[in-house]
Amino acid sequence: MGAILFIWILALFKTCGADGCLNVKTASSTSTCFAINECQNQFVCRRGRCINTTGNFYCDCHPGYKSLATEFCRDIDECLNKTACLNRKCINTPGGYYCTQRNGKELSCDQFEKQPGQTLPGFDNLLTLMKDNCLMLRNSSSTGPKGETLTGERLLEVLVNATDEIQLALLNKSHRGGSDVTNFLQTIEVSIRLIAPQLKENFTRMVTNYTEAEILVNRDRTQPKGPVSLINEKAQLDTTWETVAGDEQNYPGSAFVILLSFKTLNMLNVSSSLQSQQLMSDVITVSISNPNSENLLQPVQLTFSHLQSSDMEPDCVYWSEEDGLGVWSGQGCTRVMSNSTHTICSCDHLSSFTVIEGIQSNGLSTVMWVCLLVALACVILSLITTMWCRSVSLHQLQQPGKCMYL
């Protein structure tokens, strides 16, 4: 028994060392022990908050991650829980998960294919990034994510920065075609719809020099109800959760609504039937989780702040993809109210919207000019007739009936 105790003490002595330090660093000159601050290592607790303790540390992991013996913070696969999405398909994401529509098809990534003849800088890189993320999501439920994946927040940051770069390119004279604007708006919308369910927070806001994004996600198991609004510097969206979520029978367990503002697209004069019309507000994109957003049961209300004070009556328009080029169209949108600083629009579908100088006001202006010219011609004709009558009356007093007839 004494031999066993001696061996145990000897092993403990070798582990601790002559100066008795355990899990601490020793200063060789003074043999003084002090704790190592493991949190100074940037690779420690990358998906959480590192908390240093005496002789040790631990990770306070972000939501959707947990600390394991072999890993500091590892993604929790919520899809292993059979009740996560009930009878819907569960897709695990870094730090979260989301459920597909009950009758939905397999997630398609074709919209992120590179487009021939595309020359906008940064556009192809964005498409590649989003396609990789899309493929990861589509395959994650069966094989799990492989390798390092970007979080929803990081994807949104990359998207917004790419949006700024593309907007600057669109301002260049060589990139003002309607097809470029169409490709840009389409790609941004499908990208942010893919990103929204991957965000950890219920509300996310990101602002840069040229883009402003607000995203609201509701993860209630039962379909949310009631009004919902998103507001940014130049626009406001008002709708209902019933419109956002869509058919209650196909509610997937979460819903999201997105408001994007582009601060430079109002400077573009793309080729369209309304090319001569000036944009009076920022261009915004509105998107919701409801897949049937082309014909809403309840219209959404959009409030625009005018770039400059104006007494003109504006028209509410959206970007319509006609013949692959795209034009501003007023179909499905009506003006509810307008003053010198704001315009309220009501639209029964979702797309990218803005307000422009009223088309009708220009038509009325043309009619007024025509009427003015006709009136001027009548005045001139009356003067000529009067002068001729006076001349006749002076020289032919014997024929007064002629002037009376005229």
The rounded Cα 198 to chain-centroid distance in angstroms is: 14
Task: Centre a 10 Å sphere on the Cβ of residue 263 and count the other Cβ atoms it contains.
Answer: 19
Residue 84: predicted pLDDT: 65
Residue 64: predicted pLDDT: 73
Looking at per-residue pLDDT, the higher value among 131 and 76 belongs to: 131
Provide mean pLDDT across the span 97-115: 71
Name the most confidently modeled range: 290-304, 312-326, 354-368, 379-393. 290-304
Query: At residue 200, what are phi and psi to the nearest 5 degrees?
Result: -75, -40
Residue 277 lies in a domain: yes
Residue 244: predicted pLDDT: 95
Residue 195: predicted pLDDT: 93
Across 183-195, b (16+ Cβ under 10 Å) vs e yields bbbbbbbbbbbbb
Q: Residue 280 in contact with residue 334, Cβ under 8 Å?
A: no
Query: At residue 355, what are phi and psi to the nearest 5 degrees?
Result: -125, 145
Question: CA 98 to CA 34: how far, in whole Å?
Answer: 46
Provide mean pLDDT across the span 381-386: 81
Q: Residue 303 in contact with residue 344, Cβ under 8 Å?
A: yes
Residue 2 lies in a domain: no
* pLDDT above 80: residue 79: no
* pLDDT above 50: residue 274: no
* pLDDT above 50: residue 235: yes
Looking at per-residue pLDDT, the higher value among 225 and 37 belongs to: 225
User: Are residue 151 and residue 272 in the same domain, yes or no?
Assistant: yes
CA angle in degrees (0–180, nearest 5) for 199-205-207: 125
Question: CA 373 to CA 376: how far, in whole Å?
Answer: 5
Q: How many structural domains is the chain composed of? A: 2
* pLDDT above 50: residue 18: no
User: Model confidence at 68, in pLDDT bands (50, 70, 90)?
Assistant: confident
Residue 378 lies in a domain: no
Residue 334 lies in a domain: yes
**Alpha-carbon distance values, 283 to 45, 56, 139, 157, 244 (Å):** 40, 53, 35, 20, 21
Domain that holds residue 63: 17-74
User: Are residue 55 and residue 124 in the same domain, yes or no?
Assistant: no
User: Are residue 30 and residue 150 in the same domain, yes or no?
Assistant: no
User: Model confidence at 400, in pLDDT bands (50, 70, 90)?
Assistant: low
User: Are residue 21 and residue 83 in the same domain, yes or no?
Assistant: no
Looking at per-residue pLDDT, the higher value among 317 and 97 belongs to: 317
Q: What is the mean pLDDT of the chain?
A: 78
